Amino acid sequence: MSELVKINLKVNGKNYSAEIEPRLLLLDFLRENLALTGTKSDGGSTSGTCTILLNGVSVKSSYILAVQADGSEIVTIEGIAENNELNHLQQAFWEMFAVQNGYSTPGLIMSLTDLLQRNSHPSEIEIRYWLDGILSRDTGYQNVIAAVQLAAEKMK
Ligand code: FES
């Protein structure tokens, strides 16, 4: 067992301090230490179900050690709603039947949140390009693209 390392970070607006193993993945820290189980593991694939916002940028939390997130600000799917209401993107997913299984949807929402922060009116091609890092084989991507376009309209 290696020596524990202390980290401090903010997750969904709340400050946390923890002593952890240096090799602990950020994904496992969020799920196991903070019980934020909305961020999913795909069991070793690269599907992006574990996507979160790290200092405002979408990243795969299984690719990052928790110690690397020391001092950063994280938003997970649990922190994305606004005033306890679905935000525009979540609502659009609901309205356009873009919700897929419980594994894919959180990663899609977090990744597409980053896209809409960077580009408030992405074209279909830009959305498709952005989705390259998130795999979902349930219903395809057409309804997801429609949901992003609807969210962009609502956010005008
Ligand atoms: S758990 Fe597979 S990409 Fe993160």
Tell me the pLDDT tens digit for each residue of 20-49.
999 999 999 999 999 999 999 988 778 889
Number of Cβ within 10 Å of residue 147's Cβ equals: 26
Report the CATH number at residue 131: 1.10.150.120
Tell me the pLDDT tens digit for each residue of 59-76.
999 999 999 999 999 999
Tell me the pLDDT tens digit for each residue of 103-148.
889 999 999 999 999 999 999 999 999 998 777 766 678 999 999 9
Instruction: Assign 93 a pLDDT band (cuts: 50, 70, 90).
Output: very high
Q: Are residues 102 and 143 in the same domain?
A: yes
Q: Are residues 100 and 60 in the same domain?
A: no
Residue whose tokens read 């002593």: 19
Instruction: State if residue 106 touches ligand 1 by the CB under 6 angstroms criterion.
Output: no
Number of Cβ within 10 Å of residue 37's Cβ equals: 14
Q: From atom 2 of ligand 1, which residue's Cα is the shortest distance away?
A: 46
Instruction: State if residue 41 touches ligand 1 by the CB under 6 angstroms criterion.
Output: yes
Structure-block tokens of residue 51: 């996507």
| Percent of the chain whose predicted confidence (pLDDT) is above 90 | 79
* Host domain of residue 102: 88-154
State the pLDDT at residue 1. Answer: 64
Instruction: Say how far apart CA 138 and CA 101 lie, in whole Å.
Output: 7
Instruction: Say how far apart CA 95 and CA 149 lie, in whole Å.
Output: 12
